[in-house]
Amino acid sequence: MADRAVSDAFRALREAVALSPTNVPLRVALGRALLDAGRHADALVELKAAVLQDPAREDALLAVGEAAFALGRDGEGVEAWMRVLAGLEPASLADLARRALKIGRRPDAQAAYDRLLGLDPTMRDLGIERSLRFAVVSGAEPEPEAPEPVVRSRPSITFDDVGGLQALKERLRMDIILPLQKPDLFKAYGKKPGGGVLLYGPPGCGKTHLARAAAGECGVNFQAVEIQSVLDMWLGESEKRLHQLFEKARDEAPTILFFDEIEAIGAARHQLKHGPGRRMVNQLLAEMDGVNAQNESILVLGATNAPWDVDPALRRPGRFDRVVFVPPPDVAAREAILAISLRERPVADLDLALIARRTPRFSGADLRHLAEVASERALTDALRTGAMRPVTNTDLLAALERVRPTTVEWLETARRYVTYANQAGLYDDVSRYLQAMG
Ligand SMILES: Nc1ncnc2c1ncn2[C@@H]1O[C@H](COP(=O)(O)OP(=O)(O)O)[C@@H](O)[C@H]1O
Ligand SMILES: [Mg+2]
């Protein structure tokens, strides 16, 4: 299939999934298509979401294993395949046994190997047998530590590195930064700190960037939580890990705890009243309520590109009670972002206002990309001539031929939600934005 046709097929599937997020077979089909196209990481996200919704879904578990192995995430792959042992082909069983041995999971390796010989005794594998024996003699290797689900840092960027979004910065200053810096003052006026802010909007428009900048702005720790790792549903440990994560944040307070792509937690919203997704949501709610009760210097920020998939329970008071739209940058913001993106490069004869006018619907990330393409053009010349030359408007205009805005698809999806599912006025901000866009 031509690239174009492939991406159309993805888009159709993605839209279908967006419109019926609880349709597990559709999500599996999307995951499968991504997998076949070699987009393993994207596939894994969809497939894991499908498994969260229907933990017994064999085709999804099989595909999760394939995707995880392709990504070198053997632990996850082994967990998935162990759950569908009875459905595996002999070759897969041998593969599973080897991978399980490699990561020190001897009992799993043994089980897979026993099953293999049960199916087909001619598949004896002396290498596997030797490793199994060796593992007994030497004592099983301790299981490798699960990857840390958190990235800790002390961001050096501040709000000055974020173009546009003035009102939002002011709001975060009042809601997040000042309460962290002056807790007593806030208490004196009866304003409770805490409660979370959930940022949503099209990809690449600065949600993650802004959260980091907020931490840099007040010089506190920043802990970015990778939901997919916490969600390590295979081990049934997600709740414990989530709890540990909050404990750790309490130790390191003041801190901003940032949950990116938080819809992954609530993906199982309508179905599965008792499944793993549900339990995770409940645990997160309990932790957030605990943060408030103990009035600690932890602030919780969340971000999502898919607010419609976020469990509504997470939006109740005291939790993510402020839900804020991060729109694509307006013309002034685009100019600011271009200036930030070109700040450390040699430039001359720029008319960024002109470029800003010509880039409607560009995200911050798109603008940054535009600046990079333009810079490459200047660099190519410099390499050819051996003489340094600055990046100019001509480079930016040339780059415009090659860089396309990436927010359009999101905005189209959002338009449907605004039209058909704007319960409780949740998407009023988006609605106003879309109307202004025409
Ligand atoms: N408003 C902005 N100001 C400056 N840079 C931005 C802005 N929005 C996006 N960017 C650039 O694009 C990159 C991707 O943005 P990111 O925050 O990851 O988007 P999101 O989390 O909304 O998907 C950022 O690292 C930053 O370099
Ligand atoms: Mg992000």
> What is the CATH number for 155?
3.40.50.300
Distance of CA 206 from the midpoint of ligand 1 (Å): 3
Name the token pair of 191: 């304003």
**b vs e for 32-57, b when ≥16 Cβ sit within 10 Å of the residue's Cβ?**
bbbbeeebbebbbbbbbbbbbbbbeb
If asked whether residues 122 and 240 sit together in one domain, one would say: no
Q: What is the pLDDT of residue 336?
A: 96
If asked whether residues 394 and 255 sit together in one domain, one would say: no
Q: Of 325, 354, 372, which residue constitutes the final position of a domain?
A: 325
Q: What is the pLDDT of residue 140?
A: 44
Q: What is the pLDDT of residue 270?
A: 46
Q: What is the pLDDT of residue 139?
A: 45
Distance of CA 195 from the midpoint of ligand 1 (Å): 24
Domain CATH code at residue 390:
1.10.8.60
Q: Which of 306, 228, 200, 206 is nearest to 263 (CA)?
A: 306
Q: Of 137, 161, 177, which residue constitutes the final position of a domain?
A: 137
Listed residues: CB within 5 A of ion ligand 2: 207-208
From 209, 212, 331, the mutation candidate for ligand 1 (largest count of ligand atoms within 8 A of CB) is: 209
Distance of CA 31 from the midpoint of ligand 1 (Å): 27
If asked whether residues 114 and 46 sit together in one domain, one would say: yes
- End-to-end alpha-carbon separation of the chain, Å? 35
Judge whether 418 lies within some domain: yes
Walk along the chain (438 residues) and give the pLDDT tens digit of each residue.
455 666 777 888 888 888 888 888 999 999 999 999 899 999 998 999 888 888 889 999 999 999 999 999 999 999 999 999 999 999 999 999 999 998 888 889 999 999 999 998 888 888 898 888 876 554 444 444 444 566 778 888 999 999 999 999 998 898 888 887 887 888 888 776 666 889 999 999 999 999 999 999 988 889 888 776 666 544 566 777 788 888 888 888 788 889 988 887 765 444 444 555 677 778 888 888 776 555 467 888 999 998 888 888 887 777 887 888 999 999 999 999 999 999 989 999 899 999 999 999 999 999 999 999 999 999 999 999 988 899 999 999 999 999 999 999 999 889 888 888 776 677 888 888 888 887
Q: CB atoms < 10 A from the CB of 355, how many?
A: 22
Contacts of 234 (CB under 8 A, 6+ apart): 76, 79, 80, 83
Q: Which atom of ligand 1 is nearest to the CA of 203?
A: 23
The ligand 1 site (C-beta within 6 Å) comprises 162-165, 203-209, 303, 329, 337, 340, 364-365, 368
Distance of CA 208 from the midpoint of ligand 1 (Å): 7
Residue nearest to atom 6 of ligand 1 (CA): 364
Q: Which atom of ligand 1 is nearest to the CA of 340?
A: 4
Judge whether 297 lies within some domain: yes
If asked whether residues 186 and 208 sit together in one domain, one would say: yes
CB 202 within 8 A of CB 410: yes
If asked whether residues 265 and 154 sit together in one domain, one would say: yes
If asked whether residues 289 and 363 sit together in one domain, one would say: no
User: What is the distance between the alpha carbons of residues 272 and 269, in angstroms, rounded to a whole number?
Assistant: 7
Q: Which of 402, 348, 349, 350 is nearest to 372 (CA)?
A: 402
Q: What is the pLDDT of residue 234?
A: 46
Distance of CA 235 from the midpoint of ligand 1 (Å): 34
If asked whether residues 181 and 311 sit together in one domain, one would say: yes
If asked whether residues 224 and 238 sit together in one domain, one would say: yes
Contacts of 147 (CB under 8 A, 6+ apart): 229
Q: Which atom of ligand 1 is nearest to the CA of 303?
A: 21
Q: Which atom of ligand 1 is nearest to the CA of 164?
A: 1
Range of 419's domain?
408-437
Is the sign of the CA dihedral 417, 422, 426, 427 positive or negative? positive
Distance of CA 162 from the midpoint of ligand 1 (Å): 8
Q: Which atom of ligand 1 is nearest to the CA of 365?
A: 12
CB 128 within 8 A of CB 101: yes
Judge whether 142 lies within some domain: no
Q: What is the pLDDT of residue 269?
A: 45
Distance of CA 181 from the midpoint of ligand 1 (Å): 25
From 205, 263, 342, 369, the mutation candidate for ligand 1 (largest count of ligand atoms within 8 A of CB) is: 205
Distance of CA 364 from the midpoint of ligand 1 (Å): 5
If asked whether residues 208 and 121 sit together in one domain, one would say: no
Q: Of 137, 166, 193, which residue constitutes the final position of a domain?
A: 137
If asked whether residues 102 and 69 sit together in one domain, one would say: yes
User: What is the distance between the alpha carbons of residues 17 and 23, in angstroms, rounded to a whole number?
Assistant: 7
**b vs e for 64-75, b when ≥16 Cβ sit within 10 Å of the residue's Cβ?**
bbbbbbbeebbb
Residue nearest to atom 1 of ligand 1 (CA): 163
Domain CATH code at residue 55:
1.25.40.10
If asked whether residues 316 and 178 sit together in one domain, one would say: yes
Judge whether 143 lies within some domain: no
The residue behind tokens 């940022």 is 199
If asked whether residues 154 and 70 sit together in one domain, one would say: no
- Ligand in closest contact with the CA of 367: 1
- Ligand in closest contact with the CA of 205: 1
Judge whether 394 lies within some domain: yes
Count: domains in the chain: 4
Contacts of 109 (CB under 8 A, 6+ apart): 96, 97, 98, 100, 101, 128, 131, 132, 135
pTM of the model: 0.67
